[in-house]
Homo-oligomer: A and B are copies of this chain.
Amino acid sequence: MNRAAIEQYAIDNLNNVTDYLRIASISAQNKGIKATSTWIMEQFRQLKAQRVEQWTDQGGNPVIFAELAGNSDKTVLFYNHYDVQPPEPLEEWHTQPFEPVAIDGKLIARGVCDDKGELMSRLTLIKYFQEHGGLPVNLKFYIEGEEEIGSPHVADYVAAHAADLQADACIWEGGGKDEDENFEIVCGAKGAVSFNLHVQTADVDLHSSLASYADNAAWRLVQALASLRTSDNKVAVAGFYDDIQPLTAAEQQATQAMDFNVEKVQANYGLKRPLITTDPKTELINGSTMTINGLEAGYNGEGVKTIIPKQAQAKLDCRLAPNQDPHKIVELIQQQLIKNGFEDVKVEYLLGEQAGRTDLEDSFIQLNHTVAQQVYGKQHVKLIPNMAGAGPIKPFLDYVKAPIALVGIHYAGSHPHSPNENIRLADYQAGTCYLAELLTAYGQN
């Protein structure tokens, strides 16, 4: 394998990545979905894929399915998504979010790490293989357009198309390097559930002089929210943590072997406050959280407007560990609010997905580990039970029944979901090489 040639090839073909990044494909705002899915299908047609299909039978944004034949009987299924997070707040970008630019060895644009760069690394490698003797394994791609809004249709599509999706192994999106530059092989994902809280106290906003007797939706929301969190930042909802499946001994060991450098984390994000846990590694792998994503009530413009807001709302998510059920979690929260005296605070379930994990001892995971040690260096590879983020892994585990490895091109400063999202070109090159070695080894396995 000529790694230097692949690294050069990745850079020579970078216009593929930038073309893709220029298409704003924001599922939360229903923007650019058709343009992006059409563009991706065209890429697979240019690669002469045996099958290129757009699935729409289960509703939602189309799923792109593609299949390419290789030189062995092994089949690897790739999961990617073509949608990205909204770019807001726009004023915090140093460049335009949908006009990719390369500065200081970094490629900057919304979606470049999550997850357009990874798909393009994979397609570029296919082209390279095709020009150098063919693909070492059969490849399938499942590329959805709703990952950033919680993949509401993935379970239906995977169940309906289970036969199409059969594979010996899956490679996911979203891996990369940690704060200490270790390459991570991640074996699962957390679950997540998104929901809104909403409260209305009057038909109209009131003059704030009436605060002498009239309740205030913003105060109700603040007091209701505060009642769900302890002063040491735990979730104060009865039963919230009960269903979490404890880590196995191997998972505990892998978890504690993870690097987690507090100083680097604080510097990367400019954290102003101490960490809210003394065991961040275990919390990242097997903890469950409740996060306020957004808060809104009343007047937030210039100057003062002395009103009592008639309504207030919060957007929240919970990150879930294996065995926590999204619907049950939201139900527990609603029950706790009622117990706490906030029966007027309504909980609206938006979407959720369960966590999922592949066994660390699985042979495909172990192959990833071996190849990664060759490519990134023996001391610079970590096996991680699951990522802290969520992903629609569970339906694939249930229906494809193949091991799943999450490997990718992120680094600790990639800022997924935030302004100035970026990847380092060196990571893009190395990730393409890694994949070349992995698929080659798997084909010879």
Contact = CB atoms under 8 A, between A and B. Distances in A.
A95 to B, nearest CB: 15
A159 interface: no
Given A204-B418, A271-B201, A417-B207, A149 B293 contact: no
A208 B289 contact: yes
Interface string A286-317: 01011111111111111111111100111101
B272 A344 contact: yes
A305 B293 contact: yes
A341 B276 CA distance: 14
A375 interface: no
B390 A222 contact: no
Nearest to A92: B204
Contacts of A212: 277, 280, 283-284, 287, 289, 319, 388
Contacts of A116: none
B417 A305 contact: yes
Contacts of A200: 272
Contacts of A202: 269-272
Interface in A153-204: 190, 192, 194, 200-204
B301 A29 contact: yes
A304 B315 contact: yes
Contact of A222 (B226, B304, B308, B313): B226
A231 interface: yes
Contacts of A139: none
A292 to B, nearest CB: 4
B417 A303 contact: no
Interface of A is mostly: mixed
A421 to B, nearest CB: 10
A390 B271 CA distance: 40
A221 interface: yes
A314 B296 CA distance: 10
B295 A307 contact: no
Nearest to A192: B306
A379 interface: no
A293 B208 contact: yes
Given A212-B388, A294-B298, A344-B272, A419 B205 contact: yes
A296 B312 CA distance: 10
Contacts of A314: 218
Interface string A344-381: 10000011000000000000000000000000000000
A301 to B, nearest CB: 7
A304 B150 contact: yes
A286 to B, nearest CB: 9
Nearest to A314: B218
A145 to B, nearest CB: 13
Interface in A254-298: 265, 269-273, 275-277, 280, 283-284, 287, 289-298
A27, A194, A210: most-surrounded residue (chain B CB, <10 A): A210
A227 B27 CA distance: 38
A2 interface: no
A215 interface: yes
B269 A29 contact: no
Nearest to A218: B292
Q: Which 6 A-B pairs have the closest CB atoms?
A: A203-B270, A28-B303, A226-B226, A218-B292, A209-B388, A294-B298
